[in-house]
Amino acid sequence: MSLKMPYIRILVVGALICLLPLVLDTFYMHIAVLVLIWAFLACAWNIIGGYAGQHSLGNGLYMGIGAYTVAYLVNRFALTPWVGLLVAIALSAAAAAFIGWIVFRYALKGAYFALVTIALTEAAVYVVSNIPALGGAGGMQMEYRGNSLAYMQFAGQSGYFYMGVLMVVFILLLTQWYKSKRFFYQLIAVRENEDAAEALGVDTVKAKIKANVMSGVLCAVGGVFYAQYFLYVGPRSVFGEVVSVQILIYAIVGGLGTTWGPVVGAVLLVPLSEIARGQLGNSLPGSQLLLSGVVMVLTMLFMPFGIIGAVARLRQRWQHRSATPLVDSQGGEAS
Amino acid sequence: MLEVRGLTRRFGGLVAVNDLSFEVNEGEMIGLIGPNGSGKTTTFSMLSGALRPSAGTIAFNGERIDGLKANKVCRKGLARTFQVVQPFPDITATENVMIGAFVNVGAGRQAEAKAREMLERVGLTPKADTLAKELTLLQLKRLEIAKALATEPKLLLLDEVAAGLTSTEVDVMLQLVRQLNTEGITCIIVEHVMRFVMNLSHRCIVIDFGSQIAEGTPEEILNNPAVHAAYLGEEASIA
Amino acid sequence: MNFNFSGAVLSQAIASGIMLGGLFALISIGLTLIWGVMKIINFAQGEFLMVGLYLAYFLVAWGHIDPYITILVTVPFMFFFGIGIFRATISPILKDPVMNQIMLTLGVSLILQNLALMLFSANVQSVHTRYATWNIHIGPVVISAPQLIALFGSVICTLAVWYFLKTTDSGRAIRASAQNPTAATLMGIDVPRTYLLAFGLGSATLGLAGSLMIPFYYTQPTVGVFLGLIMFIVVVLGGMGNLVGCFVGGLVIGLAETVGAAVFPGSLARVFTFSIFIIFLLFRPQGVLSKRQT
């Protein structure tokens, strides 16, 4: 297989997806945009959670920083969201770097790391809820200023849809490109065995901080897009534990630390939960989160490596059975 | 090349390594031996930066390295293997070695070429694309060496690379390490398998209860009464 | 920020903080056992409490049973509830990476929370019992009797679990299994059964908490989100598995909440609580009581 193949695959799938608006009605276009938003966020989380193996339960913090920054700047100063995007990137990078520096310098891992990230994202909810300029507990509505790329606002859903496709294609290409780079190898080394990584010259603290910044900035970009699509931001809709968990569910179900896993997870789960919400939302509130919970439990019990991982394992087993071994089982020992 | 002065490490009230001083010259093969719990691995951990010394200095090529973090020490050319093998289990042998290769190489493809070269050197080429968690102990011990070699060390700390191997396997490992030394890599070997150390070392340092009790050629060590006393009652007989 | 409060406000805040602290300690005993001692991660622990609270609520509001009598139902129910959840979900992946346990139990918490939402709606539910108006006046300070009872319950429960772990065979089996499962198995301890017992007990304490809380607290599907986080905070502050530490940790957080609420506007006191937690994790991960290990 050519080295370019994975990139071509991303571009081809992206191009094919662009045909969807021709066949989808408004309800399904809305779901498609949501799929793209969550796929993007899950891909962003996958960098710190999947590749670096640091399971942040608080990436809503960065998504919220992005969403609130753009909403505030657009509302207060009537700036274009593109400027807001730049400010959001700068703020989230600073926050992710600072938090990463503190948390990883003190070597917090596993459950402790997860708890600190929850505490931070929950603290953000309470902070934002108490700032009147940010709309307090009620959040902020954003004004619709017309169908224009300059305002990052579109009349129908297809504008958001194409932007979402661009974003997801971008993050997939980025991930694929980084996969052959030193940085991602170092992240994987950190995930697999930190002591061994240090002994092989990997500055594990620095690698984790870099991953946190990259993941945080991309989550903020996702948050900007989220705010522009809904034209509303609220403390619990973009910060907080529930959103943070939602971000990572898709990555976990799809396959941690794989390029396509988060996308596969979002493609399968977002429509399911949106349809559940649409069909049962009034009679049975919470049905879509209940579904997420069930899927999470089943994934952990029966395919902890997610859908991509399960498929890869099946394929491997099948190949092992069909291929004649080129070397005997003692291969490594004969010298 | 390496100059250790007054190296000490305390854990609470326990002194694991006590005022240890020694030197290693370029091209040498040093055996660091002693009974179980005498402080060999603690010494290695301090030399490689995994553990901060309580007191004392370590100079490598005239430069102080004590207190540096492990990754910095590694990048200065001092690599180690682990007594308990430490692979990256869910990636292939090649990818394991690539992590080390990235110390000196920026591009992925170069790192891979280098990793494959290192695997060739330790005789693991047939297992290059096998996940590390599927390797046998001997293969993992070789992988440890390949990973360390990929960082292009000038000084290599080998922590019990022969322990747990069968007699034939020890011979294979012995050849491999000797080969490395002829290629110009200075080595310090911590080992319980006496045949292995005695065959390889130019010079041995014996420690007991964290302190140095003897130093000399393997023959001198074998005939040293203090060493015999230290090993008395130890299962691993020195002869 | 408001620093101009009177001595009376402050003494009331401290008294309320101690009461709240007792409550936080009470709900955290179970997690001290499950996570602190047994190292089982359960992110659904807050939702277990929610279940306990709803059970107590229905027994009192619909069954017209005295809240303190409901203990006879809530404790055994939560014991078997915990065992059931453990058997079905956690025990099969006990040897998997920590993160899988976190994700799985997060999934369980989502299920419980949203089942409650479907069945009982998002409305805040509380009961009105004659205990609600029983207040004790000490100078300018008012203490509600049900809260005082919960504080006593917390002390007694702490002592009971401590006594159980220290002196009974099952308690010793729990500690042995947690420290070294292999050695415990060799000593003839049925380790899987011990885990089940510990988890069941950890869950049962939340039945007790539900019954003791319902006269003065409320329930709602999301009640466990905040209280669950509080449990983790208290267990960390207490030094992971230290029961006395858990009690002290509860008091620290209770005081932080009430004194914080007197000082900070709105719900910003929560931020104060979370800050204490993060600072502790970073600088004193061994908890409030234990000495630093070297």
Which sign does the torsion angle of CA C140, C146, C151, C156 carry? positive
* Domain count along chain A: 1
* Fold category of C7-283 in CATH: ABC transporter involved in vitamin B12 uptake, BtuC (1.10.3470)
DSSP assigned state of B56: E
- What separation in angstroms does the CA of B205 have from each of B21, B30, B62, B83, B155? 10, 7, 21, 18, 17
Contact A128/C at CB under 8 A? no
- Give the range of the structural domain holding residue A36, as residue numbers without chain letter: 5-322
DSSP assigned state of B133: G
* Fold category of B28-41+69-231 in CATH: Rossmann fold (3.40.50)
pLDDT digits (tens, 9 = 90+) for A86-129: 999 999 999 999 999 999 998 888 889 999 999 999 999 999 99
Q: Which residues contact B227 (CB under 8 A, 6 or more apart)?
A: B206, B213, B214, B221, B238
Distance from CA of B69 to the nearest CA of C (A): 19
Contact B55/A at CB under 8 A? no
What DSSP element (H or E) covers B20? strand B14-24
Q: Does pLDDT of A313 surpass 80?
A: yes
Q: Does pLDDT of A43 surpass 90?
A: yes
pLDDT digits (tens, 9 = 90+) for C126-180: 888 878 778 888 877 888 888 999 999 999 999 999 999 999 988 899 888 888 8
Which sign does the torsion angle of CA C31, C34, C36, C41 carry? negative
* A332 with B82: Cβ contact below 8 A: no
Tokens, residue B171 = 């011979």
Scanning every residue of chain A, which has its alpha carbon at the shortest distance from the alpha carbon of C121? A285
Scanning every residue of chain A, which has its alpha carbon at the shortest distance from the alpha carbon of B145? A200
Of A189, A193, A198, the CB nearest to B50: A198
- How would you classify residue A153: left for phi > 0, otherwise alpha for psi between -120 and 50, otherwise beta? beta
Distance from CA of C92 to the nearest CA of B (A): 22
CA-CA-CA-CA torsion for A71, A75, A79, A84, nearest 10 degrees?
-10
* C114 with A286: Cβ contact below 8 A: yes
Scanning every residue of chain B, which has its alpha carbon at the shortest distance from the alpha carbon of C294? B12
Domain locations in chain B as residue ranges: 28-41+69-231
Give the per-residue pLDDT at A329: 41
pLDDT digits (tens, 9 = 90+) for A178-205: 988 999 999 999 999 999 999 999 999 9
- Which of B89-93, B157-161, B175-179, B223-227 shows the lowest mean pLDDT across its residues? B223-227
Q: Which long-range contacts (CB under 8 A, 24 or more apart) does A323-331 make?
A: A326/B126, A327/B126, A331/B126, A331/B127
- Averaged confidence pLDDT in chain A: 90
Distance from CA of B11 to the nearest CA of C (A): 7
Domain locations in chain C as residue ranges: 7-283
Q: Which long-range contacts (CB under 8 A, 24 or more apart) does C67-71 make?
A: C67/C127, C67/C129, C67/C131, C67/C146, C67/C211, C67/C212, C67/C214, C67/C215, C68/C149, C68/C211, C68/C212, C70/C211, C70/C214, C71/C207, C71/C208, C71/C211, C71/C212
* B139 with A201: Cβ contact below 8 A: no
CA distance A263 to C285: 37
Q: Give A-chain residues touching C92 at CB under 8 angstroms.
A: 301
Cβ within 8 Å of C, A 288-327: 289-290, 292-297, 299-301, 304
CA-CA-CA-CA torsion for B158, B164, B166, B170, nearest 10 degrees?
10
Q: Give B-chain residues touching A331 at CB under 8 angstroms.
A: 126-127
CB C270 within 8 A of CB A126: yes
Q: Does pLDDT of C293 surpass 60?
A: no
CA distance C108 to C96: 17
**Going edge to edge, which strands form the sheet with B78-80?**
B78-80, B155-159, B186-190, B29-33, B203-208, B211-216
Q: Does pLDDT of A156 surpass 80?
A: yes
Report if residue A328 sits inside a domain.
Answer: no
Q: Give A-chain residues touching B176 at CB under 8 angstroms.
A: 335
DSSP letters, C103-128, are HHHHHHHHHHHHHHHHHH-S--B---
- What separation in angstroms does the CA of C239 have from each of C28, C36, C153, C209, C249? 12, 8, 21, 21, 9
Q: Which SS3 state, helix, strand or coil, does residue B205 take? A: strand
Find where tokens 């700068």 sit: A90
Q: Give B-chain residues touching C293 at CB under 8 angstroms.
A: 12
Contact C236/A at CB under 8 A? yes
Q: Give A-chain residues touching B124 at CB under 8 angstroms.
A: 332
Would you place residue C250 in the very low, low, confident or very high pLDDT band (cuts 50, 70, 90)?
very high
* A293 with C282: Cβ contact below 8 A: no
DSSP assigned state of C35: I
Q: Give C-chain residues touching A115 at CB under 8 angstroms.
A: 229, 232-233, 236, 277, 281
- What separation in angstroms does the CA of B161 have from each of A335, B70, B197, C166? 17, 20, 11, 44
pLDDT digits (tens, 9 = 90+) for B163-212: 888 888 888 889 999 999 998 899 999 988 888 888 899 999 999 888 88
Cβ within 8 Å of A, B 163-192: 169, 172, 175-176
Q: List the chains bordering chain B where 3 or more Cβ pairs fall under 8 Å.
A: A, C
Q: Give C-chain residues touching B12 at CB under 8 angstroms.
A: 293-294
Q: Establish, for the pair of chains A and C, how many residue pairs have beta carbons separated by less than 8 Å.
A: 129
Q: List the chains bordering chain C where 3 or more Cβ pairs fall under 8 Å.
A: A, B
Q: What ipTM did this prediction achieve?
A: 0.89
Give the per-residue pLDDT at B186: 94
- Which of B54-63, C24-33, C120-129 shows the lowest mean pLDDT across its residues? C120-129
* C89 with A118: Cβ contact below 8 A: no
DSSP strand E in chain C: where? 135-138, 141-144
CB B57 within 8 A of CB B6: yes
Contact A108/C at CB under 8 A? yes
Which sign does the torsion angle of CA C92, C97, C98, C99 carry? negative
Give the per-residue pLDDT at A120: 94
What single-letter amino acid sits at B211? S
Give the per-residue pLDDT at B13: 81
Scanning every residue of chain A, which has its alpha carbon at the shortest distance from the alpha carbon of B89? A192
DSSP strand E in chain A: where? 140-141, 232-233
Q: Establish, for the pair of chains B and C, how many residue pairs have beta carbons separated by less than 8 Å.
A: 3
Task: For residues B131-140, give the mean pLDDT.
Answer: 91
Report if residue A44 sits inside a domain.
Answer: yes
* A199 with B48: Cβ contact below 8 A: yes
Distance from CA of A297 to the nearest CA of B (A): 23
C19 phi and psi angles, rounded to 5 deg:
-60, -50
CA distance C5 to B75: 59
Quote the pTM value: 0.91
Which of C1, C90, C114, C222 to probe the A interface (max A CBs under 10 A)? C114
CA distance C32 to C42: 11
Scanning every residue of chain C, which has its alpha carbon at the shortest distance from the alpha carbon of A306? C100
